[in-house]
Amino acid sequence: MDMGALTDPALPRRRAHLRQYLHARSLALLGVLFAAIWLFVELAEEMLEGETQDFDQALLLAFRSPLDPADPLGPAWLETVMRDITALGGVTVLGFVTLAVLGLLWFQSRRRAAGLLLLAIIGGQIFSNVSKAIFDRPRPDLVPHGTLVTSASFPSGHSMMAAVVWLTLAAMLARMQPSRALKVYLIALAVAVTLAVGLSRVWLGVHWPTDVLAGWAAGAAWALICRALAEVLDPLPDPVPAPAPPR
Catalytic annotation present for 158:
yes
pLDDT band at 6 (very low <50, low <70, confident <90, very high): very low
Alpha-carbon span 24 to 230, nearest angstrom: 19
Let me know: does 47 contact 154? Beta carbons within 8 Å.
Answer: yes
The DSSP bridge partners found for residue 64 are 72
Alpha-carbon span 153 to 89, nearest angstrom: 15
- What's the confidence (pLDDT) of residue 4? 47
pLDDT band at 15 (very low <50, low <70, confident <90, very high): low
Catalytic annotation present for 207:
yes
More confident residue, 200 or 29: 200
Let me know: does 36 contact 217? Beta carbons within 8 Å.
Answer: yes
| 45-70 pLDDT per residue, tens | 999 998 999 999 999 999 888 888 88
Residue 219 identity (one-letter amino acid): G
Alpha-carbon span 115 to 11, nearest angstrom: 37
Nearest to 129 by CA among 157, 92, 163: 157
Alpha-carbon span 170 to 189, nearest angstrom: 8
Range 86-94 average pLDDT = 93
Which of 2-6, 136-140, 142-146: highest mean pLDDT? 136-140
- What's the confidence (pLDDT) of residue 197? 96
Alpha-carbon span 166 to 180, nearest angstrom: 19
Alpha-carbon span 102 to 55, nearest angstrom: 40
* Contacts of range 68-71, beta carbons closer than 8 Å, 24 or more positions apart: 69/142, 69/143, 70/143, 70/144
| 166-179 pLDDT per residue, tens | 998 888 888 878 88
Q: List Cα–Cα distances, 91 to 31, 103, 114, 158, in angstroms.
A: 30, 18, 19, 8
Range 76-82 average pLDDT = 91
What average pLDDT does the chain have? 84
Alpha-carbon span 46 to 42, nearest angstrom: 6
**Does residue 120 register a pLDDT over 70?**
yes
Let me know: does 157 contact 184? Beta carbons within 8 Å.
Answer: no
Nearest to 153 by CA among 53, 35, 42: 53
Q: How many CA atoms lie within 13 A of 83 on its CB side?
A: 11
- What's the confidence (pLDDT) of residue 236? 61
pLDDT band at 5 (very low <50, low <70, confident <90, very high): very low
Residue 81's CB is within 10 A of a number of other CB atoms, namely: 14
pLDDT band at 12 (very low <50, low <70, confident <90, very high): low
- What's the confidence (pLDDT) of residue 21? 45
Percentage of the chain surpassing pLDDT 90? Answer: 47
